Amino acid sequence: MYAGQTGFTRMFDKYSPDEGFALIAGTIIGVASWSTWYYRLAAVGNRVRVQGQRWPLAFAPPVCALIIYWVLKRWSAEDVRNDPAYMLFYMVIGLAWVGLFRIFLPLYGLSPRDDVLERGNNAAGWAIVGALIGSACCFAGGNVGNGPGWWVVLFSGLLSTGALILLWCVLHMATGLHEKVTIERDLSAGLRAAGFFVGAGIILGRAVAGDWVSAAATTADFARMAWPALVLTGVAAVVERVSPQNLMSSAVAAFFWGLIPAFTYAVAGGFVMLAM
């Protein structure tokens, strides 16, 4: 180490070659994804008459970052939470992870640009916010416990995030939920979708948490601990079946048929997390 080396440079000396590559890749993905996100909020959103449609999307990435940071600081391996270099590393990887998740949102029936920015669909906006937070919870859970390297976090994150996407697809096929959100613009349905994503994300993130033993052991533990997410999906399907249709933007309906179920889903996810 030469005398003129700064603390910032010394921090990067801690990374192995593969960690350095992952950090650079994560930085590129994260910057590209979220700079595009905010550019579209500013440029495309200006053409939307209802300007309030944009603010939930603007606050979603910072909320995701806070969730990842909070989990890292409290429950990650000791050599991660006490080392700024590795806190930075996993924060970068986490934001890149959520950034990749949001890029593929249109494949799951939710398009931030088409549904929210161009059509002013507030219901879709809240569903997308919930999806982003749910994916952040899935990634954050993979950081809990001790492991041999960053790749085990990616494996755990892929397991939990893949399950979240699968459960969302099952819920839609059973109830047509994303059509209520994107076509009918049902605000209550959008809030319920958001709550489902958050609640399921918390459960699935908890299911991949813990010390790493092997890929097989992590998968087996996940299968054993993720079953409450299936129950939550079933409950959400029943709620969708009994919920009134075409509620649009009624404030009273949004509270009773949107906020209350959404809050219940999220609280149920938190209860499962604490109980396991």
Phi, psi dihedrals of residue 220, rounded to the nearest 5°? -65, -45
Distances (CA, A) of 118 to 17, 115, 137: 43, 6, 28
Per-10-residue mean pLDDT, the chain, length 276: 51 83 96 94 65 82 97 94 94 97 90 88 94 97 93 96 96 92 91 97 96 94 96 96 74 85 96 90
Taking the CA of residue 64 as centre, how many other CA atoms within 13 Å lie in the half-sphere pointing to its CB?
Answer: 33
Phi, psi dihedrals of residue 150, rounded to the nearest 5°? -65, -25
Identify the pLDDT of residue 142. 95
Identify the pLDDT of residue 123. 92
Query: Of 117, 23, 45, nearest to 13 (Cα)?
Result: 23
Identify the pLDDT of residue 117. 86
Neighbours of 244 (CB within 10 A): 11
Identify the pLDDT of residue 54. 83
Exposed / middle / buried, residue 71 (Cβ in 10 Å: 0-12, 13-18, 19+): buried
User: Tokens in use for 90?
Assistant: 């996993």
Identify the pLDDT of residue 269. 96
